[in-house]
Amino acid sequence: MAEFFNVSDLVIGLTIIALGTSLPELAASISAVRKSEHDLAIGNVIGSNLFNTLVVIGLAGAIHPMTVESHVLYRDWVIMSSLTLSLFVLGYGILGRRRINRIEGGLLALCYSIYNAYLYFSFV
């Protein structure tokens, strides 16, 4: 459907596919947090991100080499790294409290929404 509406392949991959493949991890993390298994939720997020980044991309590149446009590396890699660093800082806490409260979680979700809006409006 997205291709029918002339949405770029990059936006499809960064939003629709990413969201669709992350929903099972989100459900498992929410379930773990509701059962007070916070370590399981953190492990799920970190493990999923590492697996998707290293194994999935590595296998795809091994099967069929791909070219990556320079703006993907300069824009998306910087944003991903910045948000990962901010997640670490918020999660570990400057004061060592090791928790993310609702305001910080909402701020991370807002950053994701702003990033998606930026992608949408820059490729329309």
What confidence tens digit (pLDDT) does each residue in 83-113 have? Answer: 888 888 887 776 677 778 888 889 988 998 8
Closest to 27 (Cα-Cα) out of 56, 50, 48? 48
The per-residue pLDDT for range 11-60, each reduced to its tens digit, is 777 777 777 777 888 888 888 888 988 788 778 877 877 787 788 788 88
Contacts of residue 36, Cβ cutoff 8 Å, sequence gap at least 6:
none
Instruction: Reply yes or no on whether the pLDDT at 6 is more than 80.
Output: no
> Residue 44 corresponds to which tokens in the numbers above?
């799920």
Residue at token pair 């770029």:
8
pLDDT (0 to 100) of residue 124: 57
